[in-house]
């Protein structure tokens, strides 16, 4: 009986800690709903202006699934689209967590201290989560910034996923439209 209680407690504790590792509350809700898909997989979360939320899950090295959520005027979150993506250079960069910080970054964080940063635009949120639940690159910045905490191609690729312009989506990493 004690062993069963301990296992039940550990399981509940694990689910709660696994889904509460991000500083973005909406993504914590999305994580709980997608838990059966994202568990033990790498995935990226991206928010644009607290209205559009994108989760890209790495199924294998060549296949990714993108979930796009939106909030309506009543702040109700709904699933807008599910898309299968093929691997490309941009997705390789997005999922290369070795070049991402383990620290949370915003414009008041250590990353931006003593730097002349110019920023404007809508607020965005980004994080890359590894298969073991480690969080990399977690940041809250704006769509326009002269200094980014991650590769510029990642920034443009994810912005383009929100804009959903076919011409922009077909561009290669590193080429400005």
pLDDT for 103 equals 92
pLDDT for 165 equals 52
pLDDT for 87 equals 81
Q: Note down pLDDT in tens along the chain; length 177 residues.
A: 443 333 233 333 333 333 335 667 777 777 777 878 888 999 999 998 888 889 999 999 899 999 998 888 887 888 889 999 988 778 989 999 988 999 999 999 999 999 999 999 999 999 999 999 899 999 999 999 999 999 999 999 999 888 875 544 455 555 444
DSSP symbols for 24-93: -HHHHHHHHHTHHHHTTS-EEEEEETTTEEEEEEEEETTEEEEEEEEE-TT--EEEEEEEEEE--HHHHH
DSSP letter at 147 equals: S
pLDDT for 95 equals 94
**What is the spatial distance between Cα 63 and Cα 41, in angstroms, rounded to a whole number?**
12
pLDDT for 118 equals 94
pLDDT for 50 equals 85
pLDDT for 90 equals 86
Q: Report pTM.
A: 0.78
């Amino acid at each position: 009986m004690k062993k069963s209680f301990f296992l039940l407690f550990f399981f509940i504790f694990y689910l709660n800690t696994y889904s509460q590792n991000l500083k973005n509350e909406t993504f914590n809700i999305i994580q709980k709903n997608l838990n059966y898909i994202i568990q033990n997989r790498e995935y990226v979360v991206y928010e644009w202006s607290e209205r559009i939320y994108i989760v890209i899950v790495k199924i294998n090295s060549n296949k990714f699934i993108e979930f796009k959520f939106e909030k309506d005027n009543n702040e109700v979150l709904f699933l807008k689209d599910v898309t299968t993506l093929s691997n490309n250079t941009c997705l390789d960069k997005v999922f290369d967590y070795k070049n991402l910080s383990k620290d949370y970054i915003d414009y008041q964080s250590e990353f931006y201290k003593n730097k002349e940063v110019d920023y404007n635009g809508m607020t965005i949120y980004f994080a890359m989560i590894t298969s073991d639940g480690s969080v990399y690159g977690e940041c809250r910045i704006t769509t326009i910034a002269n200094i980014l905490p991650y590769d510029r191609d990642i920034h443009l690729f994810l912005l383009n996923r929100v804009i959903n312009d076919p011409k922009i989506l077909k561009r290669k990493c590193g080429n400005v439209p």
